[in-house]
Every structure is written in C-alpha cells, then in structure tokens.
Amino acid sequence: MTENDNPEISRRRLLGTVGAAGAAGLVIGAAGGVGVAAAGSGDDTAGTGAGGAPALTSVGATEVMFHGKHQAGITTPLQSRGHLIAFDLAPGAGRKESAALLRRWSVTAKALMAGKAPAGDTGVALDAGPSSLTVTFGFGRTFFDRTGLTARRPSALDPLPAFSADALDARRSEGDLWVQIGADDALVAFHALRALQKDAGDAARVRWQMNGFNRSAGATAKPMTARNLMGQIDGTGNPKVTDPDFDRRIFVPAGTGGATEWMAGGSYAVVRRIRMLLDDWEKLPLDRQEKVIGRRKSDGAPLSGGSETTELDLDKRGPDGTTVIPDNAHSRISAPEQNGGAAMLRRPFSFHDGIAADGTPDAGLLFVCWQADPLRGFVPVQRKLDRGDALSAFIRHEASGLFAVPGGPAEGEYVGQRLLES
C-alpha cells in the first residue's frame, strides 16, 4: 500500500514539499497575513511543491492543539467558516452511551485538528491542511437529566431569563449536547461537521444546526477587527488574553471542589441566533447608524473621538449640550463600566440563510459569547440592552442556548471524561 492509499496519512505531510517561499509564508501567516510568491518574479516554481503542485499556504498550514487547559475554539482567533450544531440524546441513551460518544468525538476531533483523515474518511478535505480547525464540545442543561447527573449540574446552567425582545424558536434552541466547529477553509469545516454527525450514530440525533462565516484571513491589507453584516466593526471591546483578570472573567477556576469541579478550566457559552433587519437598517443615513451604535462606521472609533481602541468618553457633550454618544447607543449600554464590570468574550459568526418569504434577507449574527458565569456576564448586559438599546429596533433574537463547556482534555483523556467517569 502506498502513502496515497493510506486513509490515516496526515494532510500536514504536504508541508514537507513546501519550498522557501512557502516557509516564509508560514511566518507571515502567524501575523495574520497570507504568504504568496511575488508576482512577476520570473520563477515558475515559486509557491509550488514537489512535482509543480501548489504549495500549502499559511492559511491551510495552521494547526490548533486539541489537548490543553482549555478547549480550542474559545480564545482561538476568529475563523472564516463555522458550524454550530446541537444534538439530543436518543431515547434510551444515558451516561454510558454519552461517554462512548464523547470518546468517539474526541478521537475524531483530535485527528481532524491535526490534519489527519480518520479511518473511513469521506475524502472531502484530503488536499487541505488543518486550516485552524477547532472543535469545541459543551453540555446543555437537559443533558444532566438524561444521564442521571443532575447532582453535578452547575447552577450557572440555570435557564436564562426571558427578555422582552426575544422571539425564540424552541426547535432551534438549547439541546443536550453542543458542538462548535471553526476553520479557515469551508471544506475543512464541512468535513468536520459531517464526520461528527456520522460519529453520533444511534446515540444522538441532530436537534438544530447553523452555518456561519467571517472575513477570510488575508482579505484585508492588515489584520483588523471583524465587521458584521451591518458593516459595523464588531468586537472592539472584547476582553484581551493579556488582561490581568481575563481568566477570572472567562474561565471557571480550579480548586473550587464539590460536584462541579469537572468544569475547572471550562467556560459557559451563550449562543443566540440574532436576525438583522438589514432592509430597515440600510435605510438609515450614515449619521443615524453611527448614533445607534455610538461609533464611527468607517473605523470603529467612538463618537467621542480617537481611534477604534480609544476608551469611550461617556460624559463628553456636543455644542447642543447632549452627550456625543447617545444615552441609548449600543456601545454605551453594553460597556462594562455601565454594567458593574460585566464582561464576556464575544466570538460570533455571521450567517445568511437565503431570502425569506417576504423578500427580506434571513441574515444576521450567530452570537457566541464566553464567560466564567453567565449570570455575571451575558445576563446583566442583555437585561440592560433589553430596556432601551437603540439597536433593538433592527435585530430579532430568534434562538438561544446555554452550554457548559468543560476544560480541555489532558493527553489520554476525552472531552467531558471528568464529568462522565468520576
């Protein structure tokens, strides 16, 4: 049997054929760009591998580790493609079946994130590298009822309160198990989705599934904060991993003891499908759009002045005596200083699921935010927004979920093992 006949061969082996131009691309790629051969270099082999085949680019070469203190896909930089999928355990499936399923999923996720093709692979992504693939697993509130583990269910999984602007579809909300897939290549992301769905077998069935996207790496002249479908720079105020209190805000600490120690190093994901009423939004003149958000559309800078990263001056007033950043501006209401320091790490994908029957785009944001405790992160901010956010007139919350995402597995462990086998 040749290497090409072996389904277990690593797609990363293609890296061995990358020449000097490709190696330079890997360094550039680490800074957020894409390495390519210079146009008009006169070297017909530049950017090619063995036998003249195109070299693997830095986008495809990037690998994210499966094992670690935290699961991948939380602090990993935003990928260009994403899938969110929730499963319900099949009737009769319990703790034993769940452990077997998480074991299968972990084996598959580890292989795919390393750029390897599992046994029985479909071959969809054979030509690609790992492409920053991440697979993240979480447990919904109902999972603990179905597996007889209610004594180990964290209080942080208590149902989210109802918000007045919600128009939630129960069929596309919650779920026993949740999986987040992200990658910088659409085929790699779909490949992982298909493999995990097949692995579910008779143990679990799909409850809902959503597809998302972001701007591709290298699409801008320099790395930039992502824009959403309203054209706004989205994510400027996110906590940074370099912040001294980042871990305290985003991850569950170890050493708390008790029935929920299995969540050490984990985080809680709030997932919301937020429809954007783009036809209404796009009718607003630019200055009105900026007042709704409280930031300039061109560069994300606050209306109070400065650059994108300048702190909001919430007290600054204009010549007419009114605050430059309106009292109901989205950025003002959601600012941590307006919410007792509440913070969450937003890591969304945009979505577009076609044109609705009324001719409007079914498009918006697959909002995913991470925090050590949703009652101190998402909930207080959303309550404040619910009472008077100017953006509320242009969005609709259509689905919701809350999931406990345990810490990353150590070498030799599968995700959730500390819950299911202790």
Q: Specify the DSSP element, H or E, that contains 331.
A: helix 330-334
Question: What is the pLDDT confidence band of residue 33, given thresholds at 50, 70 and 90?
Answer: very low
Backbone angles phi, psi at 109, to 5 degrees: -60, -45
Q: 160-193 b/e with 16+ CB inside 10 Å = b?
A: beebebbebeeebbbbbbbbbbbbbbbebbbbbb
CA dist 181 and 221 (Å) reads 27
Tell which wins on pLDDT, 227 or 42: 227
Q: What interhelical angle do 186-200 and 95-113 show, nearest 10?
A: 160
Question: What pLDDT is stored for residue 56 in this prediction?
Answer: 53
User: Closest by alpha carbon to 227, among 160, 300, 285, 290?
Assistant: 300
Lowest pLDDT segment from 138-142, 184-188, 217-221, 402-406: 217-221
What pLDDT does residue 55 have? 53
- Specify whether the backbone of 32 is left (phi greater than 0), alpha (psi in -120 to 50) or beta: left
Annotation says 202 is catalytic = no
> Would you state the pLDDT for residue 23?
30
Q: pLDDT tier at 165 (50, 70, 90 boundaries)?
A: confident
**Catalytic-labelled residue, pool 184, 199, 234, 389:** 234
Q: Which pLDDT score, from 0 to 100, does residue 377 have?
A: 96
What tokens does 201 get? 């077998």
Name the residue among 179, 79, 84 with its Cα closest to residue 133. 79
Q: Is the pLDDT of residue 8 over 50?
A: no
Residue 38 β-bridge partners = none
Q: Output the average pLDDT for the chain.
A: 88
Predicted confidence (pLDDT) per residue in 283-297, tens digit: 999 999 999 999 999
Residue 181 has pLDDT above 90, yes or no: yes
Query: Identity (one letter) of the amino acid at 193?
Result: L
pLDDT band at 255 (very low <50, low <70, confident <90, very high): confident
Say yes or no to pLDDT of 19 above 90.
Answer: no
Q: Would you state the pLDDT for residue 337?
A: 85
Cβ atoms 134, 72 nearer than 8 A: yes
Contact 340, 237 (CB under 8 A): no
Please give the average per-residue pLDDT across 211-237, as a whole number.
93
Query: pTM to 2 decimals?
Result: 0.87
Q: Region 122-135: what's the mean pLDDT?
A: 94
Q: For 166, which DSSP code?
A: B
Cα 146–150–151 angle (5° rounding)? Answer: 155
Give the pLDDT band (50/70/90) at residue 57. Answer: low
